[in-house]
Amino acid sequence: MPAPMMPFIMERLDQAFHVHKLWLAADADALLAEVAPSVRAIAAAGGAAITADLMRRLPRLECVSGFGVGYDSIDAQWAGTHGITVTNTPDVLTEEVADTALALTLMAVRRLPQAERYLRAGHWLEKPFPLTPSLRGRTAGVLGLGRIGKAIARRFAACGVPVHYHGRHRQADVDLPYHATPVDLARAVDVLVVVTPGGSETRNLVDAAVLKALGPDGILVNIARGTVVDEQALVAALRDGTILGAGLDVFAQEPAVPQALLDLDNVVLLPHVGSATTHTRQAMGQLVVDNLVAWAEGRPVPTPVPETPIKAG
């Protein structure tokens, strides 16, 4: 275990395995060199870098159990080609993250955090808070229509907001307008919700051209990975009115948030709390444990990632 995880995960793994907690060692590299010949699995906290170089050092490695639906910090491609199982924790966080996406949208469109700060500062005693834009009459675009993207689309539909989408492929069983590129999608909507995986393939996918296409009434919401959005282009777009506002739960260099974003009043900022409820994190943690136990018992793991050449249980 390269980095600490939730206490109950560590307790349950300690019961089932001999766990080497690298972060507790005075010299983590020395400990890793000592235990490498016996290590057969990795329990990876969200965002922990499980690189090809690390996995090469573990000649008996068979399984990497990751915490989180995103696994761009794990070199799953290398693992898959070397027969190593990689798992993540999908499904159990879908509804929670979709709730956060809708909340961020409403917060950004209706300027609700700004309204609360206005009240707390005593300004309501002087005059009412200014009128805000509305969700009414808007069209939403979902950039990445996977499990979470579809859950977000259902929420927008319940609010009476039409939904369009873009993904790598048109989905035959989805009855929503499809756009071939992110720019085409942004041009057709005025709320753009980013739900794509992170990694090199999607780095800065939302760039200046996409933001320009979204337009001066546009709201950008990102609950995917900070790297998917070009942060410098976003700051410029928020400053000069290229878009109206943004709601962000993720950032390129977490937990550091650019001062330029902190200084802006037309962006809502959350500290990566999309799935951060006790209920959902407990379910995610249990899935980390379930994957490792299934692997150890020789059963198919419940949630292998696509790069893993092993069927799900």
pLDDT tens track for 27-44: 999 999 999 999 999 999
Of the listed 11, 34, 201, 254, which one is catalytic?
Answer: 254
Average pLDDT over residues 73-91: 96
20 as an active site residue: the answer is no
Does 219 have pLDDT greater than 50?
Answer: yes
Cβ within 8 Å of residue 201, ≥6 positions away:
none
Q: Which part of the chain has CATH 3.40.50.720?
A: 7-92+277-296, 94-269
Fold of 7-92+277-296: Rossmann fold (3.40.50)
What's the mean pLDDT when you consider all of the chain?
96
Of the listed 164, 225, 231, 281, which one is catalytic?
Answer: 225
Question: What gap in Å lies between CA 173 and CA 255, rounded to an integer?
Answer: 38
pLDDT at 244: 98
Average pLDDT over residues 62-76: 95
What is the CATH number that goes with domain 94-269?
A: 3.40.50.720
Of the listed 272, 281, 299, 307, which one is catalytic?
Answer: 272
Residue with tokens 């809708």: 102
CA distances from 105 to 45, 58, 61 (A): 28, 44, 42
Does 312 have pLDDT greater than 80?
Answer: no
User: How would residue 313 be classed by pLDDT, with cut points 50, 70 and 90?
Assistant: very low
154 as an active site residue: the answer is no
225 as an active site residue: the answer is yes
Using one digit for the tens of pLDDT, what is the confidence trace for 260-291?
999 999 999 999 999 999 999 999 999 999 99
Question: What gap in Å lies between CA 109 and CA 89, rounded to an integer?
Answer: 31
**Nearest to residue 91, comparing CAs of 265, 290, 298, 267?**
290
